[in-house]
């Protein structure tokens, strides 16, 4: 169950709403029937990562679809595998630092009374800070004349989140200026992991054109338990005593499905290259929620409800353009990606999960450059990039409860800045990169061995 020691958070101003994570506080979304009550809250935050693997791609701001000239092309654009001339083994280690906002306290509507915890006008936002790390990519590529074959493992998401609310109020107009209602306090955690295992192949159809095709098995595992506690009174902080625990809701997503990955690479001219890809998301998932009573809502550990629905992950497709200077010292890449986030909501059965929120598809824009110091031994490459992550925060419908509309609002686009360096030896290449933004910092160390 969630624990108050499982996260660190600091308050931030309410106006800071650049929330490109899928951040939810869902009192009614996962409840059968249309009515919301204080003991049916479920808090959840999700961070999806659709970026390409590899420190080189990260250093280029993700603008890699039209370059795709190393082992990570197995995922980024399998058509690029034909550019390899020797077998390669690639591995990447990544670390993530998430700073995820959530509504911690404040007023849904009405003015604070100034008594006890009811001192905040509007909603007070805090951030949950979590750090995770692990092996994020592993691949083997075997090229042969006009074709190449690759096997890979890719960790598409590795995300953790924890939150704790403490004093969220609303006014009660008919009760006079001092009347108020305090919502139940929530303790929630989220753990998400998406891993794919795949095989990809590239085929050269001519001197300037190649295609690629792959198939991957996606494993999506999400666990998000939330505990709802009865406040001790209208004034004091909640000590989260066991006897005040009213409801335990556990939301899970479990998916094991196959998806295809296709791409093309076209050398338009001596120094220009066009690339594109399509990646299919997992379609045969299941989202469930089980709700049980706690010690403060006897009889304890009684099943209140258990519901389930199909779920699916977004498809992603993109187009990129790359230019290389004479001699190869400078490479510039551009990429546009389309992420069909609406699939997440559209795939859920609205007759089972009521009051589904809204979410828009997103357009990512990536731009990066690499400068190779060709006279250095070993060869050194310096990289820099920037990319735009569009707002894809779940938002409330206009007819939702005022509480839901208050805590689930549209976010803002977020800008990422990336930098990296690569060192190329005779049979080995080592790359380092960082990707920095307001809500997520990512570091990458990858190595490629050719033989």
Which positions of the chain have pLDDT values less than 70? 1-50, 173-178, 407
Query: Helix or strand or coil: residue 171?
Result: strand
In this structure, are residues 420 and 64 in contact, taking their beta carbons and an 8 Å threshold? no
Res 50: pLDDT: 67
Res 424: pLDDT: 94
Res 368: pLDDT: 97
Buried b (16+ CB within 10 A) or exposed e, 429-445: bbbbbbbebebbbbbbe
CA nearest 202: which of 321, 54, 71, 337? 71
Choose which CATH entry (3.20.20.100, 2.40.160.60, 2.60.40.1190, 3.10.28.10) describes domain 16-450.
2.40.160.60
Neighbours of 15 (CB within 10 A): 7
CA–CA separation, 345 and 368 (whole Å) = 32
Structure tokens at 378: 């070993």
What's the farthest any 2 CA atoms get from each other in the chain? Answer: 81
Q: SS3 letters for 124-163?
A: EEEEEEEEEEEEEEEEEEEEECCEEEEEEEEEEEEEEEEE
CA–CA separation, 350 and 360 (whole Å) = 17
| Domain ranges within the chain, ordered by starting residue | 16-450
DSSP characters over 349-414: -TTTS-S--B---EEEEEEEEEEEETTSSSEEEEEEEEEEE-----B--TTS-HHHHHHS-----E
Q: Per residue in 361-415, pLDDT tens?
A: 989 999 999 999 988 889 999 999 999 998 887 788 887 777 777 767 777 889 9
């Amino acid at each position: 169950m969630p624990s108050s020691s499982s996260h660190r958070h600091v308050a931030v101003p309410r106006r800071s709403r650049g929330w490109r994570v899928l951040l939810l506080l869902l009192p009614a979304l996962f409840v059968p029937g249309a009515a919301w009550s204080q003991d049916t809250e479920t808090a959840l935050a999700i961070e999806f990562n659709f970026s390409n693997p590899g420190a080189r791609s990260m250093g280029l701001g993700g603008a890699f679809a039209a370059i795709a000239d190393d082992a990570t092309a197995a995922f980024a654009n399998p058509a690029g595998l034909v550019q390899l001339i020797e077998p390669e083994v690639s591995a990447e280690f990544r670390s993530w630092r998430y700073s995820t906002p959530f509504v911690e306290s404040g007023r849904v509507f009405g003015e604070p009374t100034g008594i006890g915890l009811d001192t905040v006008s509007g909603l007070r936002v805090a951030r949950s800070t979590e750090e995770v790390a692990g092996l994020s990519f592993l691949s083997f590529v075997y090229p042969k004349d006009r074709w190449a074959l690759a096997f890979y493992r890719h960790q598409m998401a590795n995300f953790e989140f924890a939150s704790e609310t403490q004093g969220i109020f609303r006014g009660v107009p008919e009760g006079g200026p001092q009347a108020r209602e305090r919502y139940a306090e929530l303790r929630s955690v989220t753990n998400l992991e998406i891993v794919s295992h795949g095989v990809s192949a590239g085929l050269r159809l001519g001197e300037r054109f190649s295609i690629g095709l792959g198939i991957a098995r996606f494993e999506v595992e999400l666990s998000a338990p939330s505990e709802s506690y009865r406040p001790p009174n209208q004034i004091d902080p909640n000590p989260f005593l066991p006897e005040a625990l009213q409801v335990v809701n556990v939301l899970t997503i479990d998916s094991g499905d196959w998806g295809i990955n296709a791409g093309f690479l076209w050398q338009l001219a001596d120094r220009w290259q066009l690339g594109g890809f399509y990646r299919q998301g997992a379609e045969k998932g299941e989202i469930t929620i089980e709700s049980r009573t706690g010690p403060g809502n006897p009889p304890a550990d009684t099943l209140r409800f258990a519901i389930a629905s199909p779920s699916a992950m977004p498809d992603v497709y993109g187009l990129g353009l790359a230019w290389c200077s004479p001699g190869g010292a400078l490479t510039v890449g551009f990429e546009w990606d389309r992420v069909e986030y609406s699939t997440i909501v559209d795939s859920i059965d609205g007759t089972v999960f009521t009051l589904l929120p809204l979410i828009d598809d997103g357009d990512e824009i990536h731009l990066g450059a690499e400068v190779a110091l060709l006279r250095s031994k070993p060869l050194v490459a310096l990289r820099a990039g920037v990319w735009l992550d569009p707002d894809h925060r779940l938002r409330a419908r206009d007819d939702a409860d005022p509480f839901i509309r208050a805590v689930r609002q549209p976010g803002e686009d977020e800008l990422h800045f990336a930098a990296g360096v690569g060192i190329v030896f005779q049979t080995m290449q080592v790359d380092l990169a960082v990707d920095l933004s307001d809500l997520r910092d990512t570091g990458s160390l990858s190595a490629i061995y050719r033989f």
